[in-house]
Amino acid sequence: MVAVLLPLLAAVTLTAPPAAAATRAAVPTAALTEVTNFGTNPSNLRMYLYVPAGVTAHPAVVVAVHYCTGSGPAMYNGTEWAQLADTYGFVVIYPSVTRASKCFDVSSPQALKRGGGSDPVGIKSMIDWVTRTYSADTGKIFATGISSGAMMTNVLLGDYPDVFAAGAAFSGVPFGCFATTDGSEWNSACANGTVTHTPREWGDLVRGAYPGYTGRRPRMQLWHGTDDATLRYPNFGEEIKQWTDVLGVGQTPAATDTPASGWTRTRYGSTGDQAPVEAISLQGVGHNLYTYGMASRALTFFGLGTSGPAPQPQPGACRVTATTSAWSTGLTGSVTVTNTGTTTINGWQLGFTLPAGQTITNGWGATYAPSSGAVTATNASYDGTIAPNASVSIGYQANHTGNSAAPAAFTLNGTACTSS
């Protein structure tokens, strides 16, 4: 097979510590351990497991799936999932491919059907083994992966919606996009971003993996770099179309913000940290986008820890005063937000719509995205806390084409505020 997916960062190719074999008995803690004889395994995957010394009763389970040319031990060494497990007490499964390409099967008809065979069946057997051995919480099983592993994350959530609570896919493609019928592992049309469907068509591919299933569907977090030359950026938009349809939420973001420089995060279906679909676009970043710290953000999306962006508590009530001071083609806007509720707000996003023709050129007290239309202002590091009856003031400078009015309506963390 051609060299398909680029290797990850050099850090991910470090040599793993020796792995000891294990049977159904509980494995050693605080060490990467290989588990054998874990169940049905049609594609001869290997199973590596990390159990922290402080594993909780009925732990959550994270399945961390490697990239092409990688392995379970490389994923263990190159990501911080094991360190996060030490902090929060969950168990991490690292599946490992044995076929020559070291890519997961996300192409064959067997892989794209629940119980159809190939890699998804082996990974499901690993989860079952951990659930039996550690009495894991079956409501807190999650999948995450990079590149080929991101594609497998999409596949796992499609094949086994009743197993997973959520997934986080770093540089992937939609479920079914890589499908082939000739035995090939590679789909150039999908990789190049030329496979497009309507949201309903993408959603039907997922629903077709488990016909007749009407239960809850797992939430999905998606990550992609705009300069990805391996699995090109249009796949990101197609994934969003697919999972918003599967989860029955609109295509228009409920919230948009910039959690880090060059990042654009959109949330669909709700504005909080556990929205049904969350998508993070990284401007100017290529295929190897994963860096330390991103797993903490995925963990927050999963709801397993407090690392990453702070949750957004809903205020009991809020009041906003907004004014503008204009000149020929520009203006400054001043906005004061008052917490009129009875509980402290720790972390906030203020939503409002700029009048037509206005475009923000800079701001203070918050970050603003996008620069026109429906804008979300996200607190700065120094003004994220608003005590009851306290206020914060923010502002922005904007260009205008004639209408210099202030916005008339505001929401704070999704709750409508009164205006004065």
**Residue-level pLDDT, tens digit, the chain, 420 residues:** 433 444 433 333 333 333 333 334 578 999 999 999 999 999 999 999 999 999 999 999 999 999 999 999 999 999 999 999 999 999 999 999 999 999 999 999 999 999 999 999 999 999 999 999 999 999 999 999 999 999 999 999 999 999 999 999 999 999 999 999 888 999 999 999 999 999 999 999 999 999 999 999 999 999 999 999 999 999 999 999 999 999 999 999 999 999 888 999 999 999 999 999 999 999 999 999 999 889 999 999 999 975 333 333 333 478 999 999 999 999 999 999 998 888 788 788 888 889 999 999 999 999 888 888 888 888 888 888 898 889 999 999 999 999 999 998 888 876 788 887
Note if 147 is an active site residue: yes
* pTM for this model (two decimals): 0.70
Residue-level pLDDT at 381: 80
Residue-level pLDDT at 23: 37
Question: Residue 335 — left, alpha, or beta (φ > 0 → left; ψ -120 to 50 → alpha)?
Answer: beta
Q: Pick the catalytic residue from 147, 148, 171, 296.
A: 147
Residue-level pLDDT at 68: 97
Residue-level pLDDT at 6: 40
Task: Give the C-alpha distances (Å, rounded to integers) separating 223 from 170, 291, 319.
Answer: 5, 12, 35
Q: Which of 355, 287, 353, 343 is nearest to 316 (CA)?
A: 343
Q: What is the separation of C-alpha 48 from the centre of its chain, rounded to a whole number of angstroms?
A: 23
Residue-level pLDDT at 312: 37
CB-based burial label for 265 (10 Å; 0-12, 13-18, 19+)? buried
Q: What confidence tens digit (pLDDT) does each residue in 47-90 have?
A: 999 999 999 999 999 999 999 999 999 999 999 999 999 999 99
